[in-house]
Structure formats: C-alpha cells, structure tokens
Amino acid sequence: MNDALISFHDVGKLYRNGTIALAHVDLAIRAGEFLTLLGPSGCGKSTALRLIAGLEKASSGQVERVLPHKPGTIGFVFQEPTLMPWARIHENVLLPLRLQKVPAREARQRVAEVLALVGLEEFGKAYPRELSGGMRMRVSIARALALRPALLLMDEPFAALDEITRFRLNDDLLRLKKELATTIAFVTHSVFESVYLSTRIMVMAARPGRIVEEIVIDPALPRDQDARASVSYMDYCRRASRALAGAAAELPPQAEGSKTP
C-alpha cells in the first residue's frame, strides 16, 4: 500500500516480564481513514498504539514510518485526560506548541482555534479541576490537535466517561475528523463505539496479542444517533462481536485468565 502512513511488518513486542503483548502483527494505517483496534484488555492494542507513536520499540519485525520523523506529526490522546493540574486550560493546550517553539502569536491563535473546535473557547482561563470529565477529555483532544497532526492516536479516550457524554464525544470526533481531514487510529474495547466511528476495524485477540479479523465498514453507513438502531449498524456490530467471541473460544480453557509466563 503506498498511501500507508505507518505500517507494521510482522511486528512482535515482548515485555521484560515475559508477556507477549504482540505477535506477528501486520498492519497499515492509510491516509484519511479512521482505523480502530478493537479487542479485550490485554490484547496489545494499547501497545500497538505506543509503537505507532514511537513511545516504544518493537522487539521483532519492523515498524515502517512514512510520516516525517518530526515531533508533532502525531497527536496522542490518552485514556485519562492527562492534563497538567497546575496549568490553566489554555496553557495545557499551548504545551505542544511551546515545546515545538511555535512563535507566541501564532501559538495563541492556534490555541483559540482548537479550543473553539472542541467547544471550550470560554474555558481557557479555567483550571482542569474546574471542568467535568468530558470537558477535560475535550481539552486533551484540543491539545493533541494543536500542532495539526497528520495522524491522531487515541487510546480508549472515552472509556471512563458516562454513556451520554461518550455518545456526544463520538459525534464530536466524527465532525472533527471531517473538518480537519486527519487520519485517526483509535483503540477501544467497545464494539458499538468501534462500528460507529470507524472506516475499518482490526479485531484483536489476547495471549498473544494478534489481529484476528479485519472489518471494512461501508463509508455510506449513516453516522448519527438514529443509525445506532439501524439494521446495517447492528450487522456490523454482530460481526465484530462474533470475531471477538471466536478468538476467545480458540483459547484452551486453562489459558483463560492466566498470564503468559
């Protein structure tokens, strides 16, 4: 694939404690797509994301990065908002710009822009503790977008939020994706979320972490709250669930719940 931003070639990741986080993973993130890694906890989906970000090195195989090796081309959103509690919201969003030495005037303008994108333009002066969990996550997304990354990585960003907030942020994310034309790689353990957001899903299984199925979602699938009850949406969900269940059933019973030595 020549439009891949990042590709994995037979990538394995072995942690020092002996856990095989990933084994023989081939994967490509294509420009413009919304790729979701869907799987149970322990399937190495977060590890895959960290390898993509360059926060960790593969133990075997190769991670090919076509994106320029410049900080800021990749944005990262963690499971927690991960804001600096001592800094105001606008200072938090400013951080990547400051670290990349973007001129102050331009940086200030960018901060205002991305805060407006996530609907928090009025909260720049607030401290993180003064905001709700959902708002904090929006700040985290705004910060990740501040340097206009070509690729946005999101590690279960909405897992800790209530369902109502989560649905709203799902819609916001789709809107942002359309407006900014960024590529997104997303990690979740929610089948419904993965189908709702993605153009492509990689279903993963644990012990060892691997990809068991690829599901391509019809781009024409409507993405609005009504669509969550539509037949085609439910079909995709069923398929993803079956893939997850199938991978779990393959395991010998004693392996369930026990750690890889």
Q: How many Å apart are CA 67 and CA 15, to the nearest integer?
A: 26
How many other C-beta atoms can be found within 10 angstroms of the C-beta atom of residue 219? Answer: 9
* Residue 72 interacts with another protein (CB under 8 A): yes or no: yes
Stretch that binds another protein, among 37-45, 73-81, 164-172, 185-193 (CB under 8 A): 73-81
Which residues, numbered 118-137, are part of the site for another protein (CB under 8 A)? 127-129
E strand segments, 48-182: 60-65, 74-77, 151-155
Position among 16, 18, 68, 85 found at the interface with another protein (CB under 8 A): 85
- Looking at beta carbons only, is 80 or 113 nearer to another protein? 80
Give the nearest distance from C-beta 105 to another protein in angstroms.
20
- Class of residue 128 by CB neighbours under 10 A (exposed 0-12, middle 13-18, buried 19+): buried
Q: Nearer to another protein by C-beta: 20 or 95?
A: 95
Q: Does 258 bind another protein (CB under 8 A)?
A: no
| Residue positions counted in the chain | 261
Is 9:61 a contact under the CB 8 Å cutoff? yes
Tell me whether residue 1 or residue 84 sits nearer to another protein (CB atom): 84
Q: Which is nearer to another protein, 40 or 54 (CB)?
A: 54
Q: Where are the beta strands (DSSP E) in the chain?
A: 4-14, 20-30, 34-38, 60-65, 74-77, 151-155, 183-188, 200-205, 210-216
Largest CA distance in the chain: 60
Cα-based distances in Å from 6 to 10, 56, 188: 13, 15, 19
Decide if residue 18 touches another protein (CB under 8 A). Answer: no
The answer to whether 53 contacts another protein (rule: CB under 8 A) is: yes
Q: Considering only residues 82, 199, 232, 241, which one is a binding residue for another protein as defined by CB under 8 A?
A: 82
**Binding residues for another protein (CB under 8 A):** 53-55, 71-72, 74, 76, 78, 80, 82, 84-87, 95-96, 98-100, 127-129, 147
